[in-house]
């Protein structure tokens, strides 16, 4: 049975979150974020599109980023082509049923992606089989691949062109940091495009 009060637990989690955000200032992390933003902005300037995917909370992050790019983040600018591959329940379930769940994103990447596009793969562990299979398909088609993962990086670390490994091993903190990184990416991309 927990010994801390609700207030103590809340304060502890806030401190953990604040420390994790501070960890994003590590030079390797900042460099990966800016490199990823540069790749996405170049893709969009050249007429390409961004395909985003992940499972669970990472699927929500993919949808969030796609929405910010298609709509707007902070600046008035043209709509930017971005799709979250988690959003089409009919495609996801049909592909899972016919080919297996590990192919739900790869099959969509094959249908929708091409050279010059960007595949942005999100996985807190870096080990999600369907995310890794999609990255493999994206690379074979000539897409630029970007990973967003936790401190360990998993297999995703070595599978992508640019990997943003946020400095945490705790899933809630990783997901919080992914939101911070997503907003920074959107702002940098938008600034380049606008």
Distances (CA, A) of 21 to 8, 38, 125, 131, 178: 20, 22, 18, 25, 10
Closest among 68, 56, 185 to 131, alpha carbons compared? 56
Sequence-distant (≥ 6) Cβ neighbours of residue 96 within 8 angstroms: 103, 104
CATH of domain 26-193: 3.40.50.10490
The token duo for 51 is 């395909």
Please give the pLDDT value at position 3.
Answer: 83
Please give the pLDDT value at position 97.
Answer: 98
One digit per residue, the tens of pLDDT, for the chain of length 194 reads 678 899 999 999 999 999 999 999 999 999 999 999 999 999 999 999 999 999 999 999 999 999 999 999 999 999 999 999 999 999 999 999 999 999 999 999 999 999 999 999 999 999 999 999 999 999 999 999 999 999 999 999 999 999 999 999 999 999 999 999 999 999 999 999 98
pTM, to two decimals: 0.96
Please give the pLDDT value at position 2.
Answer: 72
Residue 50, Cα to own-chain centre: how many angstroms?
Answer: 11
Closest among 99, 64, 105, 73 to 86, alpha carbons compared? 105
């Amino acid at each position: 049975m927990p010994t801390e009060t609700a207030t103590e637990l809340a304060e502890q989690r806030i401190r953990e979150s604040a420390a994790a955000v501070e960890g994003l200032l590590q030079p390797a992390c900042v460099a990966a974020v800016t490199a990823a933003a540069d790749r996405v902005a170049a893709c969009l300037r050249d007429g390409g599109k961004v395909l985003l995917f992940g499972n669970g909370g990472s699927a929500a992050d993919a949808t969030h980023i796609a929405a910010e790019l298609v709509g707007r983040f902070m600046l008035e600018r043209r709509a930017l082509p971005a799709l979250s591959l988690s959003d089409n329940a009919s495609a996801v379930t049909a592909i899972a049923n016919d080919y297996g769940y590990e192919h739900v994103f790869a099959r969509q990447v094959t249908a929708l992606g091409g050279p010059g596009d960007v595949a942005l793969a999100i996985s807190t562990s870096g080990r999600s089989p369907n995310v890794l299979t999609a990255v493999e398909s994206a690379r074979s088609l000539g897409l630029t691949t970007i990973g967003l993962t936790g401190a360990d990086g998993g297999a995703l670390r070595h599978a992508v062109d640019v990997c943003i490994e946020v400095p945490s091993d705790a899933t809630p903190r990783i997901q919080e940091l992914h939101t911070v990184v997503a907003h920074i990416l959107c702002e940098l991309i938008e600034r380049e495009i606008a």
